[in-house]
């Protein structure tokens, strides 16, 4: 199967169940908002070693935020709701509450599973914190040096999917990089999905396990150009560089959409093949067949 000049490998991305939380962060202006989003999504590329996988889902206009200020929807993915209950309050407390003018609200108010957010952070107020209820939603007002930090009492957690994948093989590093950036930019326009690695791109694709017992994962040697001839390579003979994009989404349709739009943006001159990462169906129960998702349009 061809997509313009690029061959689509007959393979699938193997994804697995994750849980996610969605928070709405607001601020007085775009600069403060950008600072908060950058901090709260830092060190959150892979749950192999990070507490969560996190990223900006979408920017929000003042008309679409709870307090009428500029905002952003940020998503956090973990292996369980319990993992989110530890990581999310910590990140909001350390990275958003510390940022000037910000507030944090729940982005999944109808989710049945709840994790503590403001109910945990309120203790920083040292007894001076105040509770506020609007309708069925409860907030905490925590005194800080520029006024008050407003934070929702709890945040919703729901089942999502992690591990959607697209691997780009190119004749040169520059061609691969530009292609991967096009793909990441296309996914950034979609709701309900994030690409948590730096700039949305992965240069250090991983495989399950390692020859070193202490490691859960190690370099995916089959996709490393410098190891061609030493290992069973998955690369096209002319490939000099490969980049991967990994997607976390709210459901299967979100992952399909991400892979679809990423593939269509990535294909082009000097892009030899598009593939996906899987482990023979042993890692996760969700399989997204690349040729199928390339052909179907987002519902």
Q: How far apart are CA 65 and CA 26, in angstroms?
A: 7
Q: Which phi and psi angles does 42 have, rounded to 5°? A: -75, 155
Q: How far apart are CA 191 and CA 189, in angstroms?
A: 7
Mean pLDDT (whole number) for 260-274: 97
For residue 134, what are the contacts with CB-CB under 8 A and spacing of at least 6?
A: none
Residue 201 tokens read as: 């791109």
Q: How many residues appear in the chain?
A: 299
Residue 297: its pLDDT value, please? Answer: 58
- Better pLDDT: 16 or 299: 16
| Pairing state between β 2-3 and 137-144 | unpaired
Cα-trace Rg, the chain: 21
Q: How far apart are CA 160 and CA 247, in angstroms?
A: 11
Task: Please report, for the chain, how many H helices and E strands are present, in that order.
Answer: 6, 17
Residue 208: its pLDDT value, please? Answer: 87
Q: Contact, 101 vs 146, CB < 8 A?
A: yes
Checking if the pLDDT of 115 tops 60, the result is yes
Residue 275 tokens read as: 């593939």
What is the four-CA torsion angle of 192, 287, 298, 6, rounded to 10 degrees?
Answer: 110
Checking if the pLDDT of 298 tops 80, the result is no
Residue 279: its pLDDT value, please? Answer: 79
54-58, 80-84, 281-285: least confident range: 281-285
Q: How far apart are CA 235 and CA 223, in angstroms?
A: 6
Using a pLDDT cut of 90, give the percent of the chain over it.
Answer: 93
Of 99, 101, 149, nearest to 125 by C-alpha is: 149
Q: Which helix (H) or strand (E) holds 138?
A: strand 137-144
Residue 177, Ramachandran bin (φ over 0: left; ψ between -120 and 50: alpha; else beta):
alpha
Residue 280: its pLDDT value, please? Answer: 73
Residue 283: its pLDDT value, please? Answer: 73
Q: Which phi and psi angles does 238 have, rounded to 5°? A: -95, 0
pTM of the model: 0.95
Question: Which one of 118-122, 206-210, 279-283, 294-298 scores highest in mean pLDDT?
Answer: 118-122
Domains of the chain, each with CATH number or no CATH:
2-15+160-295 (3.30.70.520), 19-158 (3.30.70.520)
Mean pLDDT (whole number) for 28-57: 97
- Better pLDDT: 223 or 280: 223
Checking if the pLDDT of 299 tops 60, the result is no
Q: Contact, 20 vs 106, CB < 8 A?
A: no
The string of pLDDT tens digits covering residues 144-199 is 999 999 999 999 999 999 999 999 999 999 999 999 999 999 999 999 999 999 99
Q: Contact, 53 vs 248, CB < 8 A?
A: yes
Mean pLDDT (whole number) for 233-237: 95
- State the burial class of residue 59 (Cβ atoms within 10 Å of its Cβ: 0-12, 13-18, 19+): middle
Q: How far apart are CA 270 and CA 182, in angstroms?
A: 14
Checking if the pLDDT of 282 tops 90, the result is no
Looking at every residue in the chain, the average pLDDT score rounds to: 96
Residue 296: its pLDDT value, please? Answer: 77
């Amino acid at each position: 199967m061809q997509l313009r000049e690029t061959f689509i490998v007959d393979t699938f991305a193997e994804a697995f169940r994750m849980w996610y939380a969605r928070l709405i962060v607001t601020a007085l202006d775009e600069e403060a908002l950008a600072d908060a989003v950058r901090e709260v999504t830092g060190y959150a590329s892979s749950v192999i070693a990070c507490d969560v996988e996190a990223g900006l889902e979408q920017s929000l206009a003042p008309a679409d935020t709870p307090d009428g200020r500029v905002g952003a929807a940020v998503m956090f993915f973990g292996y369980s709701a319990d993992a989110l209950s530890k990581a999310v309050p910590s990140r909001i407390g350390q990275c958003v509450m510390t940022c000037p003018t910000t507030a944090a609200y729940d982005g999944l108010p109808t989710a049945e599973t709840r994790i503590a957010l403001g109910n945990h952070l309120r203790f920083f107020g040292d007894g001076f914190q105040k509770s506020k209820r609007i309708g069925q939603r409860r907030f905490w007002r925590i005194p800080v040096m520029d006024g008050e930090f407003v934070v929702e009492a709890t945040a919703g957690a729901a089942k999502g999917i992690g591990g959607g994948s697209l691997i780009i093989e190119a004749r040169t590093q520059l061609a691969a990089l530009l292609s991967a950036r096009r793909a990441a930019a296309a996914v950034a326009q979609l709701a309900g999905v994030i690409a948590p690695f730096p700039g949305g791109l992965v240069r250090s694709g991983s495989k399950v396990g390692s020859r070193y017992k202490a490691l859960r994962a190690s370099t995916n040697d089959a996709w490393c150009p410098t190891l061609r001839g030493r290992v069973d390579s998955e690369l096209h003979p002319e490939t000099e560089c490969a980049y991967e994009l990994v997607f976390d989404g709210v459901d299967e349709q979100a992952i399909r959409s991400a892979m679809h739009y990423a593939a269509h943006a990535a294909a082009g001159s000097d892009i030899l093949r598009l593939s996906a990462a899987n482990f023979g169906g042993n890692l996760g129960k969700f399989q997204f067949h690349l040729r199928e998702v390339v052909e179907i349009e987002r519902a």
